[in-house]
Amino acid sequence: MSSPFAAIDFGTSNSGIALPDPGQPVSGGVRLVPLEGRHPTMPTAVFYRADTPASQPEPERLYGRAAMAAYIDGVDGRLMRSMKSILGSSLLDQSTDVGGGRAVRYRDVVVGYLRHLKRLAEAELRTQGNEAELTRVVLGRPVFFVDDDPVRDAQAQATLEAAARQVGFDEVLFQYEPIAAALDFEAGVQTEQLVLVADIGGGTSDFSLVRVGPERVRKGRSRPDRRDDILANHGVHLAGTDFDRHVELAAILPLLGYRARRPPRRGEAAADAPEVPSTVYFDLASWHLINTVYAPQRVAELRRMKDWYADLRHHTRLMATLDERLGHALAAAAEAAKIEVAQHGSAHIDLGLLERGLSCELAEAQAAAAIETDLERIVQAASETARRAGVAPAAVDALYFTGGSTGLAALVDRIAAGFPAARQVRGDRFASVAQGLGLHARAVFGG
């Protein structure tokens, strides 16, 4: 009997795992692993506890929802999210402080998270009476880890492969995440169709134009890579976390001095005074850079900049954010506001954790304006995919939306407007890629 295999969707915001299950023919013989309770996905998050006893060689780690809860509850430690976004970057081999006098390399954060996913999958196998170790895996990857830089993009995949091998996977294959989503979509179609898969998650917006249908499924058993069915791939390194950053810069960080003016010099109009430096605000709005602003030397430098602020309340709030390490909480508030606006048209952002009674409002028009540039680039990427395939937009039969950011109606509507004849199909925003990767793994590994 061949060894079992896994398929892992290592996402920017959420991750999922699929395993073979011959007893579920309706789902293609694969099933999703319940990662936390009955949830088929878990946040791609790690929390390092600062109070880990010094006698332990490594800091205690919490994962997923437990990691997020520890951070929200104020446990002393370091939360790491958006780990996928550092693949291919120079940060990988740098170390970062996680509290308690300890530091870890960013590369090891990725390895530790993959090891945790592998252990969860193997624990699920044991509940089925299978004690085998998982040594074969299909990993999802975006069309581009890094835009317009083939060398760094290849480095990103090589880094992820090396991490997978380090945790015990001997055979490591990759499949594009939007292709995996197309495979999940295909399970429900009865005729051949041309589908544009829009996989818009936390870090990337990927598009693939794919021919799907029952006959292609049958042929795919002898050629599982389905390469001939993929007419075009395209994508941009923009998605939900970028939306969150723009929302935070537009609505929250101006209360901390973003785009505020320095006190005018003698004879200078207030409107002509230069803005305070913005780097700290951009870092506060980027998940993987937030902790860099807490470095003692940087905090001391920003504290000395008090006289640069015409409105001293801005500087006071900025320093409170750094002293109390509220950067991730502000980023989470921006993400929640984005979701609330998408659902209700406006959001009230309570910032009482920073200053009693402090709050701000986010209107739909303001949110749309903040992310307009990114929205347009994503919409253009969808159109570019059809152009590269040599397919007229009117010839596309279906749009298949997956990924957490497809909950943003304005984005979905803008993409759909470019393909007027296509019907819209919504996949599971968080689990369809993992399911499709499982179908691909079953095709290439058998079983």
Q: Which amino acid is at 401?
A: F
Q: Give the model's confidence band at 225: pLDDT under 50 very low, under 70 low, under 90 confident, else very high.
A: low
- Kindly indicate the confidence band of residue 1, based on its pLDDT and cuts at 50, 70 and 90: very low
Residue 219 binned pLDDT confidence (cut-offs 50, 70, 90): low
Spatial separation of the C-alpha atoms in residues 263 and 124, rounded to whole Å: 61
Contact 41, 68 (CB under 8 A): no
The SS3 of residue 401 is: strand
Q: How confident is the model at residue 218 (pLDDT cuts 50, 70, 90)?
A: low
The pLDDT tens digits of the residues spanning 254-298 come to: 999 999 999 998 888 888 899 999 999 999 999 778 888 999 999
Query: Average pLDDT for residues 85-90, to the nearest whole number?
Result: 86
Would the pLDDT of 217 be above 90? no
What domains are there in the chain, each with its CATH number?
A: 5-189+429-445 (3.30.420.40), 241-366 (no CATH)
Give the pLDDT mean for 209-235: 76
CA 159/CA 433 separation, integer angstroms = 21
Q: Are strands 30-32 and 193-200 parallel, antiparallel or unpaired?
A: unpaired
Q: Which residues pair with 46 in a beta bridge?
A: 63, 80
pTM above 0.75, yes or no: yes
- Model pLDDT for residues 307-328, shown as the tens digit of each residue: 999 999 999 999 999 999 899 8
Contact yes or no for 379/418 (Cβ under 8 A): yes
Query: 50: which DSSP letter?
Result: T
What is the residue type of 83? M
Do 310 and 260 touch, CB atoms closer than 8 A?
yes
Q: How far apart are CA 182 and CA 41, in angstroms?
A: 19
Task: Name the token pair of 173.
Answer: 């294959």
What average pLDDT does the chain have? 90
pLDDT score for 46: 96
Are 121 and 134 in contact, with CB atoms under 8 Å apart?
yes
| Class of residue 44 by CB neighbours under 10 A (exposed 0-12, middle 13-18, buried 19+) | buried
CB 160 within 8 A of CB 9: no
Q: What 3-state class would DSSP assign to 145?
A: coil
161 CB-near residues (< 8 Å, 6+ apart): 139, 172, 174
Residues 6 or more apart in contact with residue 381 via CB below 8 angstroms = 205, 207, 234, 235, 236
